Amino acid sequence: MQALKPITIGTLLLSTLAGCSYLTGDDGYFRDRQGDYLVAPTAPPMDIPPELDSYTLDALYVVPEALSEDRAFFLRAPAPRELDTNIREGVVVQRFGDRRWIVIGAEPGQVWPRMRDYWSTAQIRLAAEDPSQWQMETIWLGEEGERNKYQVRIEPGIHSGNSEVYVRQVSESYVEDPDAEINWPEDSASLELEHAMLDDISLYLADRTDLYRASSVSLLAGSIQAESKANVQPTGSGDVLQIRVDFDRAWSQVSQSLDNANIETIDSDRDAGVYTVRYAGDIDEDQPGFFGRLFGRGNDEELVPVEFAVTINDEGDRVVVTAESSDNAATNELHDALIRAIHRNLI
């Protein structure tokens, strides 16, 4: 009889718990809480006294906009994007003409809190910051009459996983009312001061080894989708490359990409925005598979280069890079491989 006691006690315990509505009912301790957020009250923003530092306070999450009723529906899930492995290691100052910017191998959401740390370390106060636009603006620095103000802007890089940091500077003589909102010019008033600030920021970020391990990420800035500036887009006639930079920079970067990919350039016409190249495909992409090797296909075949016109079209906020083979001699696979090679070798 003693062996039956645990079963009897367990049965009684389960029966007791099943009747305990005070534990699992609507007012119970173990009640279903999945709908609580629908009736949760909205707390007012935290009011920070003006003499205290509020740099590190921001909203925890971005509330997304309501989806439009005419949004597209997919009958099947779209294919995932190709993994971009072109993440730059370290911190590099890029130069193009008089322009300079920092390229760093980290997401904007990782760079944002480090930029906050920079201002705190440099003992420079911020007049405004907008994590949704990845922009920070300093107070007026220097002596009255000769003061300067700086804006730092963080943008996604050419490849996903990279970021670009830009600096703009204005002097007090540029504005009529220093207390009014600044209408920032396209170029800094002093390139020397801009470059000095950019160099100082780059040295600070280069010393922050934890930046690449994502030990701290801004929840607000990190929750905003950071699409890379260069993306391959499929079309009915094959892949095209979209780059969200101006034409001058795109022309230079495509030229560097062709050189990095060892793609032969026959001719170039900047006014028409066209490079004429010869391309036979990447070695890695044209290696035959298992069945190709089994039946003796591919290894002994010599790849025949095809002539392409690579065109860069300026569309305002971006450029579109397309490729067209002479006499339509290229296969769709070779055409798309050329576009991907250009994208992969952008810097």
Q: Domain segments of the chain: what residues?
A: 91-223, 230-344
More confident residue, 181 or 90: 181
pLDDT for 41 equals: 82
Closest CA to 188 of 201, 197, 199, 200: 197
More confident residue, 145 or 307: 307
pLDDT for 60 equals: 54
DSSP assignment, residue 202? H
pLDDT for 15 equals: 56
Residue with token string 């802007």: 153
Alpha carbon distances (Å) from 47 to 44, 52, 138: 9, 10, 21
Fold of 230-344: TATA-Binding Protein (3.30.310)
Pairing state between β 148-156 and 135-138: antiparallel
Task: Tell me: pLDDT of 193 over 90.
Answer: yes
Residue with token string 């009684």: 12
Mean pLDDT of 271-278: 95
Alpha carbon distances (Å) from 211 to 57, 201, 224, 239: 20, 14, 18, 34
Pairing state between β 91-96 and 148-156: unpaired
Closest CA to 250 of 158, 328, 127: 158
Counting every residue, how long is the chain?
347
pTM for the structure as a whole: 0.67
More confident residue, 236 or 24: 236
Q: Contact, 204 vs 190, CB < 8 A?
A: no
Mean pLDDT of 49-68: 62
pLDDT for 244 equals: 94
Fold of 91-223: Alpha-D-Glucose-1,6-Bisphosphate; Chain A, domain 4 (3.30.530)
User: Residue 297: CB partners within 8 Å, gap ≥ 6?
Assistant: 288
User: DSSP characters for 19-56?
Assistant: T-HHHHSTTSTT---TTGGGGPPPPPPP---TTS--TT
Place 295 in a pLDDT band, splitting at 50, 70 and 90.
very low
Task: Tell me: pLDDT of 332 over 70.
Answer: yes
pLDDT for 144 equals: 81
Lowest mean pLDDT, pick from 204-213, 268-277, 303-312: 204-213
Which is it for the CA torsion 123, 128, 131, 136, positive or negative?
A: negative
In which element (H, E) is residue 259 found?
Answer: helix 247-260
Mean pLDDT of 41-61: 68
Best mean pLDDT range from 223-232, 236-245, 284-293: 236-245
pLDDT for 208 equals: 75
Phi, psi of 4 (to 5 degrees): -85, -10
Task: Tell me: pLDDT of 68 over 90.
Answer: no
Mean of per-residue pLDDT scores for the chain: 79
Q: Residue 264 forms beta bridges with which residues?
A: 278
Residue with token string 């300079």: 100
Best mean pLDDT range from 12-21, 218-227, 256-265: 256-265
Place 263 in a pLDDT band, splitting at 50, 70 and 90.
very high
